[in-house]
Amino acid sequence: MLSVRARKPLIKENYTLTSNQEFIYKKNESIFSQHSKTILALIIIIAFVFIWSSNLNNSSNNSGSSSIFQSKYYPVTVNTFSTVKEGELIRFYFLLADSSGNIIPRDGRVKLQILDDYQTLLYSNEFDVSSSQFVDYQIKLTGAYLGKAYEWRVNSANFKKSFGSYGYGKAYLTFTSSSDNRKLSSESSVTVPCYTSEEIKQICEQQYLAASTTVNLKLTKGNYEVIVIRVGFFNDYSYLEKKQYLRVDIQAKNIGSQASYFSPSGMAIIDNQNHQYDRTYGGSMDLFSNIYPGVSKSGYILFEVPNTVTSGKLVFQQGYDVHYNNYIFEYILSWRTS
C-alpha cells in the first residue's frame, strides 16, 4: 500500500519587515539618497565650470576680435608720402593706411625735416592736422583715385641752401596719431636750392679765415724764403662728401740770383705724439714751380689731421747746401679745434 507523504502547506512570504530589516533598508535608502545628492551636486558644479569656461573663452575671443576689429580703423603706416615742385613752391602730401590697407584720415601731429646729402638740416617744421583736413586725391594722368590725403605747400625760399651739386635732398615725415600716440614715418626725395660752386668756395674761405690762427713764421734757407702765414681746419665739399683738413697757408719767395724750382719734398705735419700726417691731395699751392728771382708764390696745403690735434710741426725739405745736404724747414705750429 502506497504511503502518501502529506505536502507541507504553502506558506505565504511575509513581506512585513522586522524592525532590524527596516533599519537596514532605511539606512541603505539614506546612503543612496546621499550618493545621489553628491553626484547631482558634482554634475551641477561641472556644468557650471564648463559654462563659465565657455563664456570666458568666448569673452576673450570676442575681446581679441574687437581689438583686431578696432585696429583696422587706426593708421599703422604711411601709405604714400610724396613731393611735387610747383615753381617756387613744394607741394607735400601723404596718405595713411590701416592694417588692412584701407586709406583713412586721422587727427595727429606732423613733423617735417629736410636734409641734404651732407646731412645738413635745411628745413624743419611741426604742426597739427585733423581728419577733416584730408581731401580726396587722384592721379591726374590716369584719374585713379588714391584716397583721402593731407597736403600742404612750402616756399622753397624758406629752405637753407644745400652744398650738394645735384639739387636734391631728402624729406623725412613723422606723423604722430592723436588716438594712440603711434609714430609713423616715411621719406621722399625733394628738390632743394643749392649754392653755386663759387658760393661754396667763398663760404669755406670765410669759415677758414674766422677759425684759423695767424702765425707768420719765416725761414730762409738756400734760394728760398718760406713764410707760414696761417693754419687751421678747413672744410671742403667735394664728391658729395664733406671733409675736413688741416690747412697751412704758405708763401715762397726766390731770393736767389737765378730761376730755380720750388719743389718741397717730404712735407708732413708731426704732432706732439709723433704721429705723422703727410700732405694730401688738393690745395692751391704749386709745389713744383720754376720761380724767377724776387718772385713770390702763395697758396695752401692740406693735411688729414684729426680735429682733436691742436699743435705740431710742419716739416719739409727744399734745396741743397754746398755739400748737397738737404735744407730742412721746420715750423712749430698751434691751431684751434674745429
270 and 316 housed in the same domain = yes
Identify the CATH number of the domain in which residue 317 sits. Answer: 2.60.40.1240
Distance separating alpha carbons of residues 211 and 247, to the nearest angstrom: 11
Quickly list DSSP for 60-114: HHHHHHHHHHHHTTS--EEEEEEEEEETTEEEEEEEEE-TT--B----EEEEEEE
210 and 127 housed in the same domain = no
pTM score > 0.75 for this model? no
Distance separating alpha carbons of residues 228 and 248, to the nearest angstrom: 7
Query: Does 20 reside within a domain?
Result: no
118 and 224 housed in the same domain = no
Q: Identify the DSSP state of 288.
A: S
What does DSSP say about strands 224-238 and 213-221: parallel, antiparallel, or unpaired? Answer: antiparallel
315 and 204 housed in the same domain = yes
Q: Cell 677759425, residue? A: 211
330 and 207 housed in the same domain = yes
186 and 92 housed in the same domain = yes
212 and 324 housed in the same domain = yes
Q: Using one digit for the tens of pLDDT, what is the confidence trace for 8-23?
A: 444 444 444 444 444 4
271 and 255 housed in the same domain = yes
Instruction: Using the 3D structure, point to which of 159, 191, 223 is the last residue of a domain.
Output: 191
Query: Does 129 reside within a domain?
Result: yes
Query: Does 207 reside within a domain?
Result: yes
Q: Are 271 and 305 in contact (CB under 8 A)?
A: yes
Q: Are 195 and 163 in contact (CB under 8 A)?
A: yes
Task: Using CB atoms within 10 Å of the CB of residue 231, give its burial: 0 to 12 exposed, 13 to 18 middle, 19+ buried.
Answer: buried
Which pLDDT value is given to residue 179?
86
230 and 282 housed in the same domain = yes
Which residue range forms the structural domain that includes residue 318? 197-334
Distance separating alpha carbons of residues 248 and 230, to the nearest angstrom: 6
Query: Does 153 reside within a domain?
Result: yes
Identify the segments of the chain with pLDDT beneath 70: 1-72, 165, 239-240
Strand partners, 244: 235
Identify the CATH number of the domain in which residue 139 sits. Answer: 2.60.40.1940
Query: Which phi and psi angles does 297 have, rounded to 5°?
Result: -130, 140
Instruction: Using the 3D structure, point to which of 165, 191, 217 is the last residue of a domain.
Output: 191
Quickly list DSSP for 125-188: EEEEE-GGG-EEEE-TTT--EEEEEEEEEEEGGGSPPBS-SSSEEEEEEEEEETTT--EEEEEE
Distance separating alpha carbons of residues 313 and 317, to the nearest angstrom: 13
203 and 330 housed in the same domain = yes
Neighbours of 167 (CB within 10 A): 12
Sequence-distant (≥ 6) Cβ neighbours of residue 284 within 8 angstroms? 299, 300
Counting the structural domains of the chain, the total is: 2
115 and 221 housed in the same domain = no
Q: Are 220 and 329 in contact (CB under 8 A)?
A: no
Query: Does 262 reside within a domain?
Result: yes
Query: Does 128 reside within a domain?
Result: yes
Query: Does 239 reside within a domain?
Result: yes
Which pLDDT value is given to residue 270?
97
89 and 128 housed in the same domain = yes
Instruction: Using the 3D structure, point to which of 129, 161, 191 is the last residue of a domain.
Output: 191
